Structures are given as structure tokens and as C-alpha cells.
Structure 1
Amino acid sequence: MIRLYDSHGVCLETPASQDLALPQTACWIDMIHPSPAEELQVERLIGVEVPSRDELRDIEPSSRLYIENGAAYLTASVVSKSETDFAEIADVGFVLAGGRLITIRYAEPKAFAVFAANTAREFAGLDGRDVLTRLIEAMVDRCAEVLESRSRRIDALSTEVFSRGSASNPEAVTRDLEATLGVIASHQRTIAKVRESLMSLARVSGYLQTMPDIIGDKALKQRCRAMAVDIQSLSEHADFISENIIFLLDAALGLISVQQNQVMKVLSVAAMVFLPPTFIGTVYGMNFQDMPELGQPWAYPIALAVMAASALGPYLWFKRKGWF
């Protein structure tokens, strides 16, 4: 799919044939899951090569940020599906050529949808350079929204975890905490993807400040500098949230261990309480002929009393120590 936007944010008609000329007012060509035919069509319209999906996956900086034949090629890793439990990273390609911006993407990050919905308000006689910087800003803003949302959810989850730890049913608490581990893992995955996206956007914003088209425009260069500062602040905030998640994970695992120890403590107390009576019963259960007590009428009640006393003694001792 190909969408065209002019300098005023109006979505133009999508080219339907290979012979259709590119409108002069078009400043942004958004390629979504482009087919090979659509890639060739845009290459004919713009006169520059469009990166393939495999080329967008290259991780070398020289393959993600470079200038070739007068066109600037940039690739950014953008967080996608952040609203779900399985956030992903999508590689988005940017080609700045002839005052126009071409974006190539095989995912639909929310930043693009929000930016496209506000094009009529955001655009005002802009060219491809302005669209590129504003689009990167939208991605940074989206990362900030994800961090803010996840931070609130993690705070609520922290309160829930520690309130569960004070419950009286160890088995139920353990089950709930084990289920919470999956939620914590989901938060950690999303924050990790956001951090990866911020690192990629930091490289892009740094490269933008060295591009001749940006250096010559004071306003654009200042916007790129402000963008770099925002990315640095968000990266630090993401590190802080990640540390909170690690603490929450350790706390959940610790509470699970405490609840399991409670169960083992009960079993240990029960074993110690019944061990002495079992020993006494075992002794008098032996079939030896010369056992003096066997012939006495008081032997049986005395044995029962000793067994009860030997069980009551450990029970009272553990009770005094506050084991249960």
C-alpha cells in the first residue's frame, strides 16, 4: 500500500499505475507492506533506490545511516504493539531525496497512525525534511507515552504484589504471585523494546544533526538537538523503570519463597510433634519377650500418657517461639 501526502497534510490519491506521474505537491510517500511492484513504481517516480525488507534488518550503523547518490537513507527501530503483552520492534526505513520523504515499513506503529491523523494540523507548507523530523518526534512522543503507561501499571502491580504477600492463605498467595511473574515479564519485555527503540532513535537524531540538509536549517537543527535531549531523558527514565521491574521481580520471587517456607515450616512442626510419640510407639511395638512393662496393668495408659506428653511438649515449645 502507498499513501501520498502533500505539503499541507492532505492525503493524495494513491498511484494506481506505473505510468502515473508523481504530483509536484507530494512531500511524503508512505509505503506500508510494499510489494516488489510498488517498490519499483516508487523508484521510477522518485529516481532513487528503495531499501528492501532484508536491507532494513541490517544492524551495522553503516547500513542504517548513510547518504548515496544525493539521497539520505536512515533506518530506525520503532516499538510496535506496545498495547499488548508481546511488544515488538519494527524496522522503518526513511529515504530523504529531492525534498521528499519516503518511509518503508512492514508494521504499523501507533506513532505513524497518530502522526498521519494530525497531518492536516501539523503540516503547513512543509517539505520532506520537516516531515522526517516531526515524524521522529512523534516516535519519541510515543515512547514517552508507553513509558508513562507502563510506569503507572507497574506501580499498581507493586501495590498488589505486596498486599498479596500479607494474605493468610499461602497456597492462594503463591498461585497469584506465580501468575504475576508473567505480567512482570510482559512489562519488562515492553520496556526493553522501548529502550531499544530509543537507542535507535538516538542514533538517527545524532545523524540528522550531521546531514547537510539539516545543518543549513537552524530551526531543524535546533529541533534535532531538542529531540536528542528528550531521548536521553526518556532513556534514563526507562532505565529507572527497568530497575523497578527488577526489584518487583525479586520481591515477587522472595514472597513466593516465604510462602513456600511457611508450608515447609508447618510440615516441620508436624514432623517434630509426632516424632516422639512415634518413637515411643515403635519401642513398645517391638515383640521382645523380656519387656518388664508388658505384664503391668498400668503400662498401656502410662505409654499413652508419655506419648501425649512427648507430642505436647514440642508443640508448646514451637508455639512459644512463634513458629505458627
Structure 2
Amino acid sequence: MGKTNKPHRAEHARRIQPLYRNVGESGAGVSPGTPVYIGDREPAESTYTLIQYTPRSVTVATPKTVEELMAMIEPDAINWINVNGLASEADYKWLCALFKLDPLTMEDMRNTEHRPKFEDFGEYIMLITKMLKRHELGATEYEQVSFVLTKNTVITFQEVSGDCFDPVRERLKSGAGRIRRLGSDYLAYALLDVIVDNYFAVLEDIGRRLEHFEDESTQDRESTRFMAGLQNVKRELNTMRRILWPVRDVVNAALHSESALITDELRPFLRDLLENCVQVIEAIENYRETASGIQEVFLSTVSLRMNEVMKMLTVISTIFIPLTFIAGVYGMNFMHMPELGSRWGYPAAWLVMAAIASALILYFKKKKWL
């Protein structure tokens, strides 16, 4: 598979606002395994989508409740349950209990600030990753997506509605490729692959922004505006590096997992996905170096421009020093100054000052200081 950026104010506000927790004021002190919602946004109401498919057919349903959802599960088909929103703690607990998920799994998936991770519980695999969304205003939003993989079911938990999974949905509906012929592990891989593909799209946008800054770095631009914009890109890249670096470890753990839920047929695809994750990390590192290089070039350009200004001011000051001295001497107004009584004293003073200024200018040009 060939794959080949000031966080905005909204993003900055997200970093400094308090985390939402639905147990007490801070959620501190609760026992381990308690599924406390932790996140940087108010939890959305839960909605459900169920896609079931076999090699020959596919059905899509939108059950209203967990009870209705579970009644639709077909053990002889692959079931993809997509949960948007984590506001309903009771429904969340009920759904997890029906699939016999460990309390620690329930706690981790409800903590949307959790580090990406992969964990094998035998009967199921829990995987946490991050999905990137690029808004029209240029801000990058990070959303946690949690996976639960069983023998014939994939459950995905998202913070809000809206995702990058539409290509997978279209492939399921059209029957294109191998997705409907393989098991639930391939479905989980396909969803992860789309998430990683979306990283490249976000990075391409950052690359275009860096090219724009690179073009402006040697031009006469407003320093404050330029540096603020470039620093925002650097901050965004640092955030991406911190969040996406563990995703590579997650894919690597899945590749080397001995779980029976991951078939040997999936290993080549996971290796390719791991290579793409490494490529994402390398692209982030390259862009960070590029941003630092652009900043250095811009600062050097500003420094050079300032040196040129200082050189010109120094030359002007040097020319006027002797002229100021002459003007100061003849401005003392003593009674007995021979030149004051001379008829040609005034034009002679101007002639001397003009000669001195001309000589200094010629000297500076000879030294190539002008």
C-alpha cells in the first residue's frame, strides 16, 4: 500500500481546560477498574451502528439501545459494532458486561486521555489508538478510538460521531477486495489502516504549511506574525509526535502477538501497517527538523537585516561626528574667535564639512562598507 501542520486557540483551550469526570469532582480515589469518563470534552450521548457481513451479504442497522443491539448479533457473521459517544455509563457497563470485558479494559477505554496500548486478554484483544481530524480552520483534533476484537466481533468506541472509516464501510457494502472473505481480525486491521492513512493526509497539510513558511522565511515579513505561526506548527508537530509514537508500538505488539485471534494470514498486512507507522514517525521528525531549520534561516535573515540597518546607522553617525565637532566649536560664541569676524568664515566652514563628509563616503565605498 503506497502511502506516501499556533495550535489554534481552540486546541490551546482544550489543553488548559479541566478534564471532564463523571465520578465526584475529580474522580480521584475510586477503586481500580471503575469506568470513570476522563476526557477534554463533554461526553456525547451514545449512538450505535451495527454492520454485519458474510462473504455473500452485508446488512447495516442503527439500534437505539444496547438490548436491541445484542438481539441483532449474528454468531455466524462478522459483526462490527460502532459506539459513538461515551456519556451513558450504564449502557457502557452493560455492553461491556455482555462481552465479558475485564474491568480494567472498561476503565482504560473510558479514559480518553489514555496512551495507545495493546493488550491480549485471551478471549478478546483490547487496542487503544488515536484518530486525527483536520478542521477547516486548520486545527488538528485528536480523538481516541478503542477496539475490542473477539472471534467474530469488532467493537469500536469513539468519543464523538464522525470518523475516517467511510472507505471501509464502502468496501464492505460493495464487497470489493478481501475484507468480506476474511475474519474479524482483518476488519480491525482495515480500520487501523484507514486511521494511519489519515495521519498522512494531516502530515501533507502540515508539509504545505511548512513550504509556505519556507518561502516567506527570506522575505521582508512581520517577525512577530511569522514566528508565532511557525511556532504553532512546531508545537503541533511535537504534540503529534507524543501522541502518535506509541501507535507504532501498538501495531508492533499486534504483529508479534501470539493470540489465536490474529491469524497468520494477517501478519503481512500488519508488517506493512508497521512500516507505514514508522514512515509517519519519520515524516514527523523530518518536519520538526525542517521547522527548526526554517526558524534558524528566518532568524539569520532578521539578524542580517538588522546588521545592515546598524551598519548604515553607524556610517551616518561616523560622517556626522566631525561635522558635529566643527559645528560645536563655532557654536561656543566666545568674543575673540578669529574666524567669527571673517567674511568668508561661514562658507569656508560649510566647505570643510562637505569635504570631510565626501572624503568619508569615498573611504567607506573603497572599503565596500557602502
What TM bracket, shorter-length normalisation?
0.7 to 0.9
**Normalized per residue, which structure has more helix?**
1
| 1:242 counterpart SS class | helix
* Residue number among 198, 203, 216 corresponding to 1:147 in the alignment: 203
* Distance (whole Å) between structure 1 residues aligned to residue 62 and residue 78 of structure 2: 11
* Distance (whole Å) between structure 1 residues aligned to residue 278 and residue 236 of structure 2: 18
- TM-score normalised to structure 2 length: 0.72
Name the counterpart of 2:84.
Answer: 32
C-alpha deviation, 1:183, in angstroms: 3.8
* Distance (whole Å) between structure 1 residues aligned to residue 59 and residue 226 of structure 2: 45
* Residue number among 245, 263, 266 corresponding to 2:291 in the alignment: 245
The residue type equivalent to 2:73 in the other structure is P
| Residues 151 and 261 in structure 2, CA contact (< 8 A), matched pair in contact too | no
Q: Does 1:19 align with 2:67?
A: yes
Query: Where in structure 2 are the equivalents of 1:1-324 lying within 5 Å?
Result: 1-7=47-53, 10=58, 12-20=60-68, 21-24=71-74, 25=77, 27-36=79-88, 37-43=90-96, 45-48=98-101, 50-51=106-107, 55-59=111-115, 64-68=117-121, 70-81=123-134, 84-107=137-160, 111-121=164-174, 123-162=179-218, 164=219, 173-175=220-222, 178-213=224-259, 217-324=263-370
Q: How many residues align?
A: 311
* Distance (whole Å) between structure 1 residues aligned to residue 269 and residue 283 of structure 2: 21
* Distance (whole Å) between structure 2 residues aligned to residue 42 and residue 68 of structure 1: 17
* Distance (whole Å) between structure 1 residues aligned to residue 91 and residue 304 of structure 2: 60
C-alpha deviation, 1:297, in angstroms: 2.0
C-alpha deviation, 1:82, in angstroms: 6.8
What RMSD, in angstroms, separates the aligned Cα atoms of the two structures? 3.1
- TM-score normalised to structure 1 length: 0.81
* Distance (whole Å) between structure 2 residues aligned to residue 11 and residue 191 of structure 1: 40
The residue type equivalent to 1:35 in the other structure is A
Provide Cα deviations, 1:59-79, integer angstroms capped at 9, x if missing partner: 4x7xx3323473322211333
Provide Cα deviations, 1:142-177, integer angstroms capped at 9, x if missing partner: 222333443344335424434x2xxxxxxxx132x5
* Distance (whole Å) between structure 2 residues aligned to residue 108 and residue 272 of structure 1: 69
Name the counterpart of 2:40.
Answer: none
Provide Cα deviations, 1:47-69, integer angstroms capped at 9, x if missing partner: 4364466534234x7xx332347
| Residues 76 and 91 in structure 1, CA contact (< 8 A), matched pair in contact too | yes
Structure-2 change in CA distance of 1:285 and 1:54 (3 Å): farther
Percent identity over the alignment is 24
